[in-house]
Amino acid sequence: MKVNRASLEKRPEEVAAMFDDVAPKYDVVNDVLSLGQTHRWRRVVVDAVGAVPGQRVLDLAAGTGTSSEPYADQGIDVVACDFSLGMLTVGKRRRPDIDFVAGDATNLPFADNSFDASTISFGLRNVSDPHLALAEMLRVTKPGGRLVIAEFSQPVVPLWRTMYTEYLMRALPAIATKVSSNPAAYVYLAESIKAWPNQDELAAWIVESGWENVAYRNLNGGIVAVHRATKPGSGQVIPTPAAEAPVRRLRRRASRSVG
């Protein structure tokens, strides 16, 4: 029987099959459901990574590679990694110049200390074991290198949080019915966002995985949070942009800013 959506157990074969199914229209549907905000969120992530030509970036859960394109366009060596072959096929067809690699976030097919920075946008939430994925990204990142995670989170204002939850559970599936070939996949999307930990909890996970200097920035009032961290060690460190300087400490090593 064809699988058209994953469960919150996030079995890898179910998640991969679901994304294979939505791959052809994935980027268009995302733009519609986010009201065009995906473009801004990608720019914030690229700025937070802060990579320059000559460096190598791992873009994990890259899907069709829209999150990888800004690096390639700047002459940065980027590897777009995803475990959905359907997504990778769509991406490679559109951007044959980008290196697309099939891989599981919990068992990355890369050597230790291979990348100057590792990033994952709206994909950690779909991994069966996020803690293992964080550890794997630590392993493949060079000492002093950076981690940047963009993920849906929890709005910080209670009224805004209530309105957003209503949008997720009611309006989003209805809109997906109009624009997506697989509306059930977007029911999973809403459920997985609602079940995901808040900003401070994810920051704690990152700290526990061995990263340091963990901080986050809220976007759109906390609908999305961009977390960043560095790998301990004496390697070449990508400087933290001044606009992302931490404003308070969390568990001594994690901090946050709002924007």
Least confident of 11-20, 38-47, 100-109: 11-20
Do residues 120 and 49 lie in contact, with contact meaning Cβ atoms separated by under 8 Å?
A: no
3-state secondary structure 136-197: HHHHHEEEEEEEEEEEECCCCCHHHHHHHHHHHHHHHHHHHHHHCCCHHHHHHHHHHHHHCC
Supply the CATH number for residue 76's domain.
Answer: 3.40.50.150
* pLDDT band per the 50, 70, 90 thresholds, residue 180: low
Structure confidence at residue 185 (pLDDT): 66
206-211 mean pLDDT: 97
Question: Is residue 6 domain-resident?
Answer: no
Check whether 179 has a pLDDT greater than 80.
no
Of all helices (H) and strands (E), which one includes residue 250?
strand 249-250
Do residues 83 and 106 lie in contact, with contact meaning Cβ atoms separated by under 8 Å?
A: no
Question: Is residue 160 domain-resident?
Answer: yes
19-36 mean pLDDT: 63
Check whether 46 has a pLDDT greater than 60.
yes
* pLDDT band per the 50, 70, 90 thresholds, residue 248: very low
Portion of the chain with pLDDT greater than 70, in percent: 67
Structure confidence at residue 215 (pLDDT): 97
Least confident of 158-162, 199-203, 231-235: 158-162
Question: Is residue 113 domain-resident?
Answer: yes
Question: Is residue 41 domain-resident?
Answer: yes
Q: Which tens digit of pLDDT belongs to each residue from 82-140?
A: 999 998 999 999 999 999 999 999 999 999 999 999 999 999 998 999 999 999 999 99
Do residues 65 and 91 lie in contact, with contact meaning Cβ atoms separated by under 8 Å?
A: yes
The residue whose two tokens read 């709206």 is: 122
Question: Is residue 7 domain-resident?
Answer: no
- Distance between CA atoms of residues 175 and 177, nearest Å: 5
Q: How far apart are the first and last CA of the chain?
A: 45
- Distance between CA atoms of residues 157 and 151, nearest Å: 18
Tokens of 238: 């990508």
Question: Is residue 4 domain-resident?
Answer: no
Structure confidence at residue 214 (pLDDT): 97
Check whether 34 has a pLDDT greater than 50.
yes
Question: Is residue 3 domain-resident?
Answer: no
Q: In whole angstroms, how large is the CA radius of gyration of the chain? A: 17
Q: Is the pLDDT higher at 3 or at 24?
A: 24
Question: Is residue 28 domain-resident?
Answer: yes
Domain around 252: 12-258
| Count of structural domains within the chain | 1
Portion of the chain with pLDDT greater than 90, in percent: 53
Contacts of 146 (CB under 8 A, 6+ apart): 48, 49, 50, 116, 117, 118, 228, 229, 230, 231, 237, 238
Q: Is the pLDDT higher at 155 or at 101?
A: 101
